[in-house]
Amino acid sequence: MGDKSVMLAAGGTGGHLFPAFALAQELGRRGVAVDLVTDERGDRYGTGFPARAIHTVPAATLAGRSPVAAAKTILALSNGVRAAYRLLGRVRPGAVIGFGGYPTFPPLVAAKLRRIPTAIHEANAVLGRANRMLAPRVSRIATSFEQTALLSEKLASRVRFTGNPVRDAVIDWSARPYRAAEADEPFNLLVFGGSQGARYFSEAVPPAIEQLTLNQRARLRIVQQCREEDLTDVRNAYAASGVTAELQTFFKDLPERMANAHLVVGRAGASSIAELTVLGRPAVLVPLPHAVDNDQLRNATRLADASAGWCIEQKNLSAEKLCETISSLMERPTVLSAASSAAKQLGRPDAVVRLADLAEELIGVRMANRA
C-alpha cells in the first residue's frame, strides 16, 4: 500500500455513506485506491461499498449530558483515535476525507497526528457538530452549499464549494427529462424518508390520500417506503381507498423510482436534496423535527426559496393540509414542471468530479511532502 490512495471516513447513515460512495466510484475511475473506515454499523444499506477494504474503528455519539455519558464518549473516541492511528500506519493513505458524524472523528484526528492531508465534506446547509470540531484541524473543507451556516469566517481560505456528490445511478437517471402528468393520466407519487421518516409517513400519508377525490385516487400510483411493522396497515389503508400502491421496506433502485415520480414526498436529508436536484424532481419536503441544528429545515428552506419544492414543517402538517397540497399539485402540471426546472438548476451533477479533484490535490500535497 502507498500514497496513491484515499481513506474515506463515513458513518453508517445514508447522508454520510452515499456521498462517500459516489466519491469512491469516481476515484476508482481515476485509478486511485479507496479504503473505507466506518463504525460498527458499517454498510448497513447494502450498497456494496466500492473500496478495496472496509475497516472499523470505535466511535461514539454524545448521547447525554451527564458526566458519566461524557466520560464514556471521550473514552470511546480515544480508543478510536488509537485504533485509527495504527490503521493509518499500515495503510499509509495519501489523504483522509471525512463525511461528518462522530465516526469520522477518530480517523481525522489520527491523520492530523500522522501529518496526512485531510478534508471534511459537509453535506448540509449547516455545519454539523462533529465537523465543527474538526474544521479547524483539517486541510480543506468541502461544502455542498455556497453558504454554510456555523462555518467560521476564519476558515474561509480552506473552504471549497463542491456540491454534494451523488451516486452514478442518479447521474444516469438524470438524463430522463421530467414530464408532468396531465389531468387524465396516471400520477406517480413517491414517498420515502429513512427509518424515522418511514414511520411518520406511514401514519400521515394514507389519511391524506383518503381525502382526495375519487378521480384523483384512481389516477394515483403510490410507491412508498415503510417499516416492516407498518406494511400491512398501510397496504390495507390504500386498498380501502382504492389506490394502487407498491410498498417496500427499502428500495435499492431508488434513483430510478425518483426519476419516474411526478411528485416526491419525503424528508429533507442532504443526500435526498442532492439527488432530487440532480434529477430535477419536485418534492414536498417535511424536515425531520427536533434535528440538531435544524439542518433538514435549512436544507428544505433553500429549495422552497428557489421555488424548487415545498417545505411544510411536521408540526403544521395535518392530513387536510397534505391532502390539499397533493390535490392542488396533481391538478397543476405547469407548477410541477416549473418546480422541476428550478430543482434541476440547483443540482450539482459535477460535485463528485470537484470533490475527486480536491482528493487528488491532497494526495499531491502528501506525495510532495514525502519527496
334-365: pLDDT as tens digits: 999 999 999 999 999 999 999 999 999 999 96
pLDDT (0 to 100) of residue 75: 83
Distances (CA, A) of 56 to 15, 31, 41, 269: 18, 24, 9, 25
pTM for the whole structure: 0.89
Q: Is the sign of the CA dihedral 69, 291, 8, 146 positive or negative?
A: negative
pLDDT (0 to 100) of residue 198: 84
pLDDT (0 to 100) of residue 47: 56
Cβ–Cβ under 8 Å, residues 117 and 362: yes
Does 28 share its domain with 87? Answer: yes
The C-alpha cell 411526478 sits at: 262
pLDDT (0 to 100) of residue 87: 97
pLDDT (0 to 100) of residue 46: 47
Does 19 share its domain with 160? Answer: yes
Q: Number of folded domains in the chain?
A: 2
Across-strand partners of 120? 98, 141
Query: Which residue positions in the chain have pLDDT lower than 50?
Result: 45-46
Does 291 share its domain with 225? Answer: yes
Does 318 share its domain with 358? Answer: no
Q: What is the CATH number of the domain that holds 202?
A: 3.40.50.2000
Those residues whose C-beta lies under 8 Å from the C-beta of residue 260, and which sit 6 or more positions away, are 188, 190
Cβ–Cβ under 8 Å, residues 213 and 191: no
Triad 301, 337, 193: Cα angle to 5°:
45
Does 148 share its domain with 177? Answer: no
Cβ–Cβ under 8 Å, residues 106 and 83: yes
Does 255 share its domain with 342? Answer: yes
Domain carrying residue 339: 171-346
Does 278 share its domain with 305? Answer: yes
pLDDT (0 to 100) of residue 194: 73
Tell me the CA end-to-end span of the chain in Å, nearest whole number. 17
Does 59 share its domain with 71? Answer: yes
Does 180 share its domain with 269? Answer: yes
The C-alpha cell 426546472 sits at: 341
The DSSP secondary structure of 107-127, one letter per residue, reads HHHHHHHTT--EEEEE-SSB-
Cβ–Cβ under 8 Å, residues 87 and 65: no
Does 20 share its domain with 130? Answer: yes
Does 360 share its domain with 321? Answer: no
Does 196 share its domain with 340? Answer: yes
d(CA 13, CA 273): 15
Those residues whose C-beta lies under 8 Å from the C-beta of residue 315, and which sit 6 or more positions away, are 289
